[in-house]
Structure 1
Amino acid sequence: MFREYAVGNKNFSTFKMIVTILATEMSGITLVYYVQTFYLYGLRRMIVQMIASIIPFWAISIISVRMGPFMRNLSIAETIGIIYGKIPRIIVSILGISVAIATLSVEINVISFMTKICINSIDHRSITVLATLVIVSYTIWGGISSITNTDILQLITFFIIIFLIAGLMFIKTGKSIFEIVFFLQNQENFKFTNIFKFDIKTLNIFLSIPYGFLKFHSNPTMIQRVYMCSSTMQVKKVFLYTSICLLLLIFSICIISLFVFTGDQTLSAEEIWNYITDGMPNFLKACIIICVLAMCMSTCDSYLHLCSIMVGHDVIESIFGVNKIPCIYKISVARLVLLIIGLLSMIISIRYNNFFESVLSIVSYPYMIFYCTIGAPLILSIFGFLGTTRTALIGMATGILVLFVYKKFGFPIGISGAIVQLFSNAFGMMVAHYVLPQPPDKGWVTLKYKEKILK
């Protein structure tokens, strides 16, 4: 029963899986924040973001054949727990929940931010409370099947509104396509020649390629979508097709930024969405609010569901043991967790009521810690490494230590920094494995042996 609540019956069609992944990935942050950053930082940022966004999906598609032994798992925490033991499983669950809370808080903040732009008279707290209640109430009574069904409608809404906004911004420029292209080529941030100038930005562009192949685990809901697929072959198709669709969606957001920049080059980040909605009829403003609400809800329900699984399945099993708690009680705990997490996210969203402050203060740190802690153990296990609890904990501690060194001495926490932290984690694990005494069944194994061990 809990398996059906967590990943359904694993009979989702390829189309439905693509839609639910896209709906989760294309969040409210994606629309609001990307439009702003593409406008401010130009063509290089667009290219980096496209590469960094789609390559993780290619990576999963390529390595999907090696994920067969884990396909019966319900979460990334369970996968880590099977390989490395209970303590790493609980750590991954706690970090995954912190990432979910951070994401939910900012998504709720996005709803409030956009609603307030379109309707100035509404109070921030009222919007935040109402948005939270709507998201939690419709997520709490359904499992993953109900989430995937609503994702279809939400993604269709997003498609319609995103192209509507692009069309309106094109009209607002008062220029033809050729005039816009000529204008942008004379702007420093949008010149094609600047892409190939060698500096730290260019280095990040090239580093985004290996970074993308190593980053597929950084979104815990993405791994859960893998476990919802019926087979590794479906995983391969779903994530390949999703990467193509995601590229088109991000490109459409880039188009909006280009049109806004063509219309006015003097806007600050806070003024960009005011410019977009300025002069719009109330009906179109309502459409934008609906679009943002749909995007935020499709992401929030997935993260809420992930939290319920990690507590109801991973934490409870790690503490009380497998099959010690009836499934009906696990589901009840999971639904209670949904409510608690939703209310906690609402409180954080009210505390950080500035959208730009919330993105930097809430989201960045949980994701960085999750990335530098979970990355290496998961990737190594996929490629055939079976380690002990001690090995995993040493690697996690090494990754966090390098992260704090980066922060302490002011090194850039960008793509290059993330790669250093990931490899530091892996290096710590390998040193611990080969220097310290290990059980005979631990180390590098073949795929068939791993399937036999984890069966």
Structure 2
Amino acid sequence: MVVSFLILTLVVGIYFSRKITSFRQYAIGDKQFATATLVATVLATAYGGGGLIRSVQQVHNLGLYWIILTLLAGFDLYIISRLALYMGRFMYHLSMPETMGSVYGKYPRMITALSGICDAIAMIAAQISAMSLSINMCLDGVSPRAITIVVSLILILYSSFGGIRAVVFTDLLQFITFTVIIPILAWFIFKSTGKSILEIIPFLQSQEKFQFSRLFHFDTNLVAMGCLLLSFLMGYIEPPTMQRIYMSANSIQARKVFFYSTLFSFIITIFIILIGLFVFVSAPELSVPAIWGHIMANVPPIFKGMVCISLLAMAMSTADSKLNACAIMISHDMLKSIRGPKQPPYTHQLRLATWTSVIIGLLAMLLTFYCNDLLNLLKLSLDFSLPIATAPFVLAVLGFRGTSRTALIGMVTGILSILAWNQWIEPTTGINGSFICMLANGIAMMAAHYLFKQPDGAGWVQPLTDDASR
């Protein structure tokens, strides 16, 4: 069953890899994707296998804290839908670093690309770790590492050689797969509890971790959850997600794509939360590492393969989008920044993108041998993206036109802030500082802009709300 799914994924990827004749097609396609197709690829990218595994574990472990965090974090895509309305003048760009370069110059563009690449490698590594965990949990008698390598090579193959069209249509297949399987899994775990809904609700209300009085008790955990929530809300303002805006026909379609994605994301999230709740009801004393073993023991044997397919589909659909974004950032943004705008187009740009994607995928595989903790990899990706590029990008979209010096001051402030935070504050408090360091970046930019003399043209302009007005 798993082998058939992988073969089907490879066939779909190869089929839609045809007729790639230009780098623009490789990067954003023909900008004629249906809204439903873009919604599917946004959600497939947003929901990774690591996220499913981690969310179920943390609902069981942290209770109402994690449930509220997850539900509120669902507005991250809505924030992007509002931001998309102001991206009219940038809709013909190929990447988020290109937009940064058009406003702040080549050095901020290069730094944005580098931070995006590091962010993507951490997230690809998380998805590869999730694939290994899912195979280990669901399939007996096979080597998790060997199957994980095979799966990783498959997604590297179609995402490297097929460009964004291969990624989008494999994402569509993978999205349909896991959205069908997750509700069925929730139903099986509910049946395993042996209780009705009327019995489950009072049981949960009697547990301390599911009581609202505990939720609003001010302590370090509440502050840590609040900071993590703010990081999650801004965390999708990163190159792979922004690429879906550039793939849209115009900013109006982009807004619709992310608005509809927000609505569907809540449905998916509710089913994931229900899985964690039902596991807690059936076995409240489970340790975190034992949660998924309990799940596998309470589903029919034939459905274990379906759960494995779902986790693989979620992991692959996230990893392939990250790989494609990395290929664009290196072969487009880094290359153009190094060569300069006056140089003729590089004739082997498409080939460079292909092999870049292969190398990035292999680097991510190597990272999993040194770090395979899903929560640590998530925090690592946030540290690479939020404190460095998010604030300058949001300001640019909202109409701020600062100098390269202003952007660099903000970026350096963000980098130094997150390094200091991780060295001295997070080890003692457990509070993730990526959002706070993003604010430090933005404040430093505003201070630099208003304290130093600026050239003509720097300042605020009226953002365009539709690329037709460009």
TM-score (normalizing by structure 2): 0.89
Of 391, 403, 406, the residue aligned with 2:421 is: 406
Q: 1:397 is paired with a residue of what secondary structure?
A: helix
| 1:377 matched residue in structure 2 | 392
Alignment check: 8 A CA contact 2:104 2:401 kept: yes
Amino acid at match of 2:162: G
Residue 55 of structure 2 is aligned with which of 17, 20, 34?
Answer: 34
Is 1:431 the counterpart of 2:431? The answer is no
Residue in 1 that maps onto 2:70: 49
Of 160, 170, 176, which aligns to 1:156?
176
Segments of 5+ residues of structure 1 without an aligned counterpart are none
Q: Offset of 1:291 from its aligned partner?
A: 0.8
Change (3 A) 1:209 1:41: closer
Structure 2 residue aligned with 1:11: 32
Contact 2:251 2:466 in 1 (8 A): no
How far apart, CA to CA, are the structure 1 residues paired with 2:226 and 2:142?
45
Residues 207 and 104 (structure 1), Cα distance of their counterparts in 2 relative to 1, 3 Å cut? closer
SS at match of 1:183: helix
Deviation for aligned residue 1:214: 4.5
Aligned counterparts, 1:246-395, within 5 A: 246-278=265-297, 280-322=299-341, 324=343, 326=345, 329-352=348-371, 355=372, 357-360=373-376, 362-395=377-410
Tell me by how many angstroms 1:292 deviates: 0.9
Aligned to 1:25: 46
Instruction: Supply the distance in 2 between the matched residues of 1:236 and 1:323 (Cα, whole angstroms).
Output: 34
Equivalent of residue 64 in structure 1, options 51, 62, 84: 84
Q: In the alignment, residue 447 of structure 1 is paired with which amino acid?
A: P
With 98-107 and 188-197 compared, the bigger mean Cα shift is at 188-197
C-alpha separation in 2, matches of 1:84 and 1:42? 44
List per-residue Cα deviations over 1:82-117 (Å, max 9, x = no partner).
Answer: 111111111111111111111111111111111112
Superposition deviation, residue 322 in structure 1: 3.9
State how far apart, in whole Å, the 2-side matches of 1:414 and 1:114 are: 29
Equivalent residue runs for 1:133-172 within 5 Å: 133-172=153-192
Higher deviation after alignment, 245-254 or 275-284: 275-284
What is the rounded CA distance, in whole Å, between the counterparts of 1:110 and 1:6 in structure 2?
Answer: 27
Give deviations 1:143-184, integer Å, cap 9, x for gaps.
212221121211111012111211110111011111111111
Structure 1 contact 5–143 (Cα < 8 Å) conserved:
yes
- Residue 227 of structure 1: SS of its match in structure 2? helix
Q: Which residue of 2 aligns with 1:131?
A: 151
Greater alpha carbon shift after TM alignment, 187-196 vs 309-318:
187-196
Q: Does the 8 A contact of 1:59 with 1:216 survive in 2?
A: no
Contact 1:47 1:205 in 2 (8 A): no
Write out per-residue CA displacement over residues 382-416 of structure 1, whole angstroms, 9 at most, x where no aligned residue: 1211111111111111112222232232244646x
Aligned residue pairs, count: 447
Supply the RMSD in Å over aligned alpha carbons.
2.4
Instruction: Give the 3-state SS of the residue equivalent to 2:348 in structure 1.
Output: helix
Q: Distance in 2 between matches of 1:302 and 1:213?
A: 20
Residue 132 of structure 2 corresponds to 112
Listed one character per residue, the Cα deviations across residues 428-454 of structure 1 (whole Å, up to 9, x for unaligned) are: 1122222223211212222369999x9
Distance in structure 2 (CA, Å) of the matches to 1:138 and 1:225: 18
Give distance in 1, aligned partners of 2:26 and 2:151.
24
8 A Cα contact 1:97 1:307, kept in partner: yes
Normalising to structure 1: TM-score of the pair?
A: 0.92
Tell me the distance in 2 between the aligned counterparts of 1:104 and 1:330. Answer: 23
% identical aligned pairs = 36
Q: CA 1:449–1:100 in 2, change beyond 3 Å: closer, same or farther?
A: closer
- Residue of structure 2 in register with 1:186 after alignment: 206
Asked whether the equivalents of residues 96 and 243 of structure 2 are also in contact (C-alpha less than 8 Å), the reply is yes
Q: 1:108 to 1:371 in 2, by over 3 A?
A: same
Counterpart of 1:422 (choices 407, 418, 438) is: 438
